[in-house]
Structure 1
């Protein structure tokens, strides 16, 4: 065992969450004020005065409102001047990354008290915009750079066909992975519903959750007027819900500082370690859609921290923007279909404050460990199955100092197969690699989109027009996957490739 001094041992000491349900739109709090409330709650939770001593501040990127240098504005509100003050890029993995990096800074002796915080007021902001109500918030910083999202990195044809948003890209992984596992679409859909129902059940008991309805699997997967199909096979209750007003804060301190501040020992949670890796930003530049090599590498690395088995985790939070993500993750972890995948409730039911959900999951995990759980896994993801970060936390102090090198990109890259050449011109026969069908708000089919492989094994995107009922029916057959099916490729009058079964 390597000797660790108390001022180099990072511990999570306080967590705070806040949900804003204003009676009047203009009473809704903006993200800066939501973060202040969460930070105050985190300090109160710690049981010691820590906010004034923050020397490291990380703010999760928010999309509901735009500020100029929010890290400086929040520091001023707190009356602090942290050595490290960072407002990061878009990414659902970022809260876990920031907690991990804060722990590493403490281990290096560069910090004693770190805060990680984030907030979204998308619910209020969207309602105000629709009602044309001006909010009494800090003026929207139009001069601040617009955050880059996953859609910024996609090919023009993906944008044209509408498969450049999370809700229309993740279905490609859903269909391809289910076929790879030998499931019929019906079986895969049933697994998604049962898994999502478990998230809903946890949210129903979480006082911080936005939606506390314990939906059944059938309620989640069955399309209705209130649960419309968005992109096959995902209904509204199978995707993240960003229309929330929520904030969170996590305080990480050195063991020495925590004790000096009077934080009770039973409030402290240790940070064991973690791992990170990424996929190519453009999903059309990946080798396949049946799994994520980056996800696999990250999860295998954190399993190694607990003896090599996913069953060694007493509690887990598997990122839940769309069902395919935790379905892939639980298989890599070696866990069964009956897995309890969450401690917080998931992005559909707990709520999805965009990039900040995993900070709320961390808060829930801390409470779980304080209540007696020994070891927890927090697995986060950002982009389009793009950025992956996992963190292991424990009631017990780890035997070794937290590692400074956590990138497992080399392992992910070694597993990657040849990437097919992407083309925009093709003819002849095309084989389905994956697909989705995009729906309008009224429940009508807009069109289908198929990722095809040509006779030369090149990759292309092809449209299935809304009036091609036969091909669409084949794609959405619940008893037989269309992955691997062959069809004819042609070029439409607008220059877009189209695919037709037969």
Structure 2
């Protein structure tokens, strides 16, 4: 075997259930030490430390602070932007640098303490955490929302993903009740996986009915029990090294896991810009390239973890790669983001760490997928106990062509997808529409009439003709 072949030899996860818990820096240190200890590598020998962006706290120099705690002086350091694909991009970069002979070891870690942040917020206290950035840098968007999305208050994933869900529902010809029932059936087995996962945030098995009824809507038609749970205290880390270093460390070959192939692709950044709201050509291209590079197929996978922040992410993935949502292998090895926990941009570190622990026990291959932003970014990674393949890099294998968005519009239009925003008290606040315009462009609009909001939640609105007025910034639709 090529001595430069990268392999994953250490992984760690931590879930803190009692609040207030540790700050992210302390969590980073804990999982970093555990992952390196598992491989027998002293932390001060790390040649690369890469961190996933934390939403919990803005540090002045996050990677430097962790390196100092570990007594390390890595020549390569990286801190990601906000994205659910960030862990895989960092892992892929680490593997590429190891294969090229630039590094022998690389740690990728992430942590969130958003449950503890909520603890302090409810007490109207500031988190007493270390090394705050001063001044605070801009939020870690790779790209800020479109001005029309900001004007229409459409920047929360619970709303953008729900819009795509309604578009797919209509395309399938499902009723509102059929979509909700199917969502419950698809996601209930995930709760059983989470119940058996000691690191899961929600460890209670639920019936399909419990998931979609009896709990409040957050972004209609999504209920609280079927969306990612973000306010968690969780951390994870993975350690990659060259085969040569793994040999020197004495890591048994049956404890090494290899990145056989991975690929990255992009749909449009704005929801309204997607040619088909309910489907994703980028997912299919990412998966096809990842499997081709790995020299394997979906049928070869013994375990799967499909990114599950919202049901539409699962469904678009299953549609694109030909995966039955009720495949006996299951859709997750952790329980997924709604049940195992969805710590902002970090989840894929947890799914990768779990997969890395599972594959040596059962042998074979596993698929880990990632989604970033508003179903914009897609990363597909094939892990294996057998080396081989061509890992690939983070260059997009596909980039979607956007539909033009018209910020201010007045006239006739047709609903392409929609949601109803709900407050924390469960009350419906406003409708948010993506509209097909006569010239094949798109626009956003609000629905402010309470009678129309009730109507929107009672029947299929996709395909409904509407009249739109505008104040030059916010469009309002009626029918």
Global fold match (TM > 0.5):
yes
Residues of 2 paired with 1:309 and 1:432: CA distance?
38
> Post-superposition shift, 1:290?
1.8
Task: After superposing the two structures, state which structure 1 stretch, 153-162 or 61-70, moved more.
Answer: 153-162
Residues of 2 paired with 1:301 and 1:401: CA distance?
10
> Post-superposition shift, 1:185?
2.6
> Post-superposition shift, 1:294?
2.1
Count of paired positions: 477
Which residue, 14, 19, 24 being the options, matches 1:18?
14
Cα deviation 1:118-147 (Å, max 9, x = unaligned): 101111122112213454420432424132
Which residue, 128, 141, 144 being the options, matches 1:149?
141
Instruction: Indicate the residue corresponding to 2:286 in structure 1.
Output: 298
Tell me if 1:388 matches 2:405. no
Cα distance, 1:369–1:438 mapped onto 2, change above 3 Å: same
Q: TM-score, normalised by structure 1?
A: 0.90
Which residue, 88, 105, 117 being the options, matches 1:96?
88
Instruction: Indicate the residue corresponding to 2:2 in structure 1.
Output: 5
Tell me if 1:463 matches 2:446. yes
Cα distance, 1:173–1:440 mapped onto 2, change above 3 Å: same
Which residue, 245, 264, 285 being the options, matches 2:273?
285
Residues of 2 paired with 1:213 and 1:191: CA distance?
20
Q: Report if the CA contact (8 A) 1:59-1:118 is conserved.
A: yes
Cα deviation 1:457-499 (Å, max 9, x = unaligned): 33111221242x2x33443235xx32222123334x7963222
Instruction: Indicate the residue corresponding to 1:218 in structure 2.
Output: 209
Instruction: Indicate the residue corresponding to 2:334 in structure 1.
Output: 344
Q: How does 1:37-436 map to 2 (within 5 A)?
A: 37-46=30-39, 48-149=40-141, 153-222=144-213, 224=214, 227-305=215-293, 309-339=297-327, 340-398=330-388, 400-403=389-392, 405=393, 407-409=395-397, 411-413=398-400, 416=401, 419-427=403-411, 429-436=412-419
Structure 1 SS opposite 2:310: coil
Cα distance, 1:454–1:369 mapped onto 2, change above 3 Å: same
Residues of 2 paired with 1:391 and 1:449: CA distance?
34
Residues of 1 paired with 2:425 and 2:125: CA distance?
26
Instruction: Indicate the residue corresponding to 1:450 in structure 2.
Output: 433
Cα distance, 1:406–1:35 mapped onto 2, change above 3 Å: closer
Structure 1 SS opposite 2:355: helix
Q: TM-score, normalised by structure 2?
A: 0.94
Structure 2 SS opposite 1:447: strand
Task: After superposing the two structures, state which structure 1 stretch, 385-394 or 190-199, moved more.
Answer: 190-199
Residues of 2 paired with 1:327 and 1:373: CA distance?
27
Structure 2 SS opposite 1:438: strand
Structure 1 SS opposite 2:337: helix
Cα distance, 1:82–1:166 mapped onto 2, change above 3 Å: same
Tell me if 1:475 matches 2:471. no
Cα distance, 1:259–1:55 mapped onto 2, change above 3 Å: same
Q: Report if the CA contact (8 A) 1:358-1:380 is conserved.
A: yes
Q: Report if the CA contact (8 A) 1:426-1:454 is conserved.
A: no
Cα deviation 1:393-442 (Å, max 9, x = unaligned): 001111x4533x45344x444xx4x7245241211x21111111111222
Tell me if 1:485 matches 2:464. yes
Cα distance, 1:455–1:49 mapped onto 2, change above 3 Å: closer
The answer for unaligned runs of 5 or more in structure 1 is none
Cα distance, 1:496–1:401 mapped onto 2, change above 3 Å: closer
> Post-superposition shift, 1:212?
0.3
> Post-superposition shift, 1:324?
0.1
Cα distance, 1:142–1:166 mapped onto 2, change above 3 Å: farther
Q: Report if the CA contact (8 A) 1:300-1:332 is conserved.
A: no
Q: Report if the CA contact (8 A) 1:221-1:235 is conserved.
A: yes
Residues of 2 paired with 1:197 and 1:376: CA distance?
22
CA RMSD in angstroms, aligned pairs only: 2.1
Residues of 1 paired with 2:237 and 2:88: CA distance?
12
Residues of 2 paired with 1:139 and 1:39: CA distance?
19
Q: Report if the CA contact (8 A) 2:272-2:444 is conserved.
A: no
Residues of 1 paired with 2:371 and 2:264: CA distance?
10
